[in-house]
Amino acid sequence: MERRVLLAVLLSFVVLYGYQLLFPPPPEPKPAATGQPGATNPSAGGAQQPTPALPAEAVSGQVPPATAANTADVNARDIVVENAAIRAVFTTRGAALKSWRLKKYRDAGGEPLELVATHAPPATPLPLTLTTDDPAVTNTLESAVFIPSADALSIDSGTRTLQFDLKDGSEIEARKIFTFTADRPYSIGVTADLKRAGQALPITVAWGPAIGSGIVQKSRTYNPAPQPVFYRDGKVSRLGVDKIPAQPVQEGTFGFAGVDDHYFLAALVAPKQQPLRVTYQSLTVAVAGVPEGAHYVSWSARFPSPPRDETYFFGPKDIDNLIAVNHDLSKAIDFGRFDWLVVPLLRSLKWINGYVGNYGWSLIILTVLINMVMFPLRHKSVVSMRKMQEVQPEVKAIQDRYAKLKMSDPARSKMNVELMNLYRERGVNPASGCVPMLLTLPVLFAFYAMLSVAIELRGAPFIGWIHDLSAHDPLFITPVLMGVTMMIQQRMTPSTADPVQQKMMMVMPVVMTTMFLWAASGLVIYWTVSNIWGIGQQMITNRLIGPAPQRTVRPPAERRVKRVGGGRTDQAKGNR
């Protein structure tokens, strides 16, 4: 029975997971001419839209020197790059990233979320700043004004590039080429070249402080401070901020390396598998009105050779977006040890939401479906507990008979023999009540892990007063409802515990309610719906198996008298 139910659970997830693999969303149509100068944009009614081409040199690995026409600029200015998901602002001073706002995610004020450090000191480098071993050259690169290839860039489809050139009139030459692809909206391809008097210099790409505001919002359940994260030798490692001084440098071949917080990631993805030297540094900035200040982790990556179309990811830890960039990048989401089950659950939730359009209702539907699959397991568990409850008076009578014996007394082993004989006579298996429930625990833990890290619930509204499924219920209605349903379910469930233990267990709903007051409302909704389902299932099971029969057990003294009397009678018969 348990094997069939477990197989049914696994097959259900395989069907949901396989459906998405077999029927993926249709790819975006590609333009007739991508990246060609003067290509016609069909969406513009046939008008000629000049599109900067991806330089052939960037593909071949060679970067040509700056042209004479692009050798100087007067004032620094901003270059805006936009696609469907982000609005980025590059500054020509240092050719660095000044702003990176996510259009689909909002901050506490309802504005598009800014991922570039907002409270970082002016002296710290901006993301994608070039540095080298010579401080003088580094100062020149940070303060110089580069020449951009475009005043603005819009990535509606295909691939577009933004190029920055520098030739300061002396001996420093530098070039940066940023590549943007429409189907990977949160990634940037980086190609860079740096020369002094015609001699190539080693390049380090500094990111500076990362990421976001650096302030841990106490109103959210899950929002830890940024921390270093890297994938090396098939393992994801994270460093606590307090451990950075002892391990500031990480070297090797990385699948990815960068900084993340609970929901967002800034990382260099290394598909070329070249060795890197990544340096981390913690940074705390005083912020008015925030006693703890803003906490950042500054980081940089040193390349053994000039970077050529290296990929940087700067965006949400959404599993589909991460896999679109690099499959290993999805490991940046900490699903825990049940990731083999969490990923199918998450994909199932997203699949349901594709039809429902509300993650709150999608979560309820998925909870109901999971509980339907586990119905036979729970039913068998309740039936087994009912049988144990029926024989409990006889079990207690046997235990009372041996209660005065010490645990080391050999005669106490007879108690276990009597108990096993009783279970055999009544057809009761003591383990059958807990084993089915143990099989449901991986699903429970996987659901908890999914709801704890799924960015899909961040800022996702449900109904009425619940505007964010990743934040706690502001009116505490759902935690109280969860506690009430838990108490009802507990009173309905058969128990073999003594009355004192049962009264102590009634405190658990109060404890759980207190713990869940500040938990993510999505998690509380899942738990509440599971409790309501459990109540309904218990009512159905009680109707199917009927009321528990009443058994009377003779007092231990009466049984002892009978046993002693019977023993004397037998002895007398033997003497005769």
How many Cβ atoms sit within 10 Å of the Cβ of residue 137?
18
Strands 249-252 and 276-287: antiparallel
Q: What is the pLDDT of residue 547?
A: 64
CA–CA gap between residue 27 and residue 22 (Å, rounded) = 14
- Across-strand partners of 314? 266
Write the CA distances from 325 to 115, 288, 330, integer angstroms: 19, 38, 9
pLDDT at position 485 over 50:
yes
CA–CA gap between residue 365 and residue 525 (Å, rounded) = 11
**Local structure of residue 333 (DSSP, 8 states):** S
SS3 state of residue 256: strand
| Chain centroid offset of residue 366 CA | 18
H helices present in 413-553, as ranges: 413-426, 435-453, 477-492, 499-505, 508-516, 521-545
Residue closest to 354 by CA, chosen among 104, 13, 25: 25
CA–CA gap between residue 317 and residue 407 (Å, rounded) = 55
Question: Could you report the per-residue pLDDT of 9-44, keeping only the tens digit for each?
Answer: 444 444 444 444 444 444 433 333 333 333 333 333
- Contact between 329 and 435 under an 8 Å Cβ cutoff? The reply is no
Q: What is the pLDDT of residue 417?
A: 83
pLDDT at position 549 over 90:
no
Domain residue spans of the chain: 52-334, 392-427
Residue closest to 174 by CA, chosen among 305, 64, 310: 64
- Quick one: tokens of 176? 């940066």
For helices 359-373 and 375-390, what crossing angle results, to 10°? 50
- Quick one: tokens of 205? 């790409």
Which CATH code is given to the segment(s) 52-334? 2.70.98.90
- Contact between 518 and 472 under an 8 Å Cβ cutoff? The reply is yes
Q: pLDDT confidence of 73, banded at 50, 70, 90? A: low
Vertex 359 angle, CA 357 and 365, to 5°: 95
CA–CA gap between residue 295 and residue 314 (Å, rounded) = 18
Residue closest to 130 by CA, chosen among 201, 67, 227: 201
Residue in the block written with tokens 């004004």: 145
| pTM for the full predicted model | 0.74
**Cis peptide leading into 155, omega within 30 of 0?**
no
Question: Could you report the per-residue pLDDT of 162-184, keeping only the tens digit for each?
Answer: 999 998 777 899 999 999 999 99
For helices 339-356 and 435-453, what crossing angle results, to 10°? 60
- Contact between 303 and 255 under an 8 Å Cβ cutoff? The reply is no
- Contact between 279 and 302 under an 8 Å Cβ cutoff? The reply is yes
- Quick one: tokens of 37? 């100068």
pLDDT at position 116 over 80:
yes
For the chain, percent of residues with pLDDT exceeding 90: 43
CA–CA gap between residue 531 and residue 478 (Å, rounded) = 12
Question: Could you report the per-residue pLDDT of 239-281, keeping only the tens digit for each?
Answer: 988 899 999 999 999 999 999 998 999 999 986 667 899 999 9
**Local structure of residue 274 (DSSP, 8 states):** -
Question: Could you report the per-residue pLDDT of 211-228, keeping only the tens digit for each?
Answer: 888 877 654 445 567 899
How many Cβ atoms sit within 10 Å of the Cβ of residue 471?
22
CA–CA gap between residue 139 and residue 425 (Å, rounded) = 87
Residue at 348: amino acid letter: S
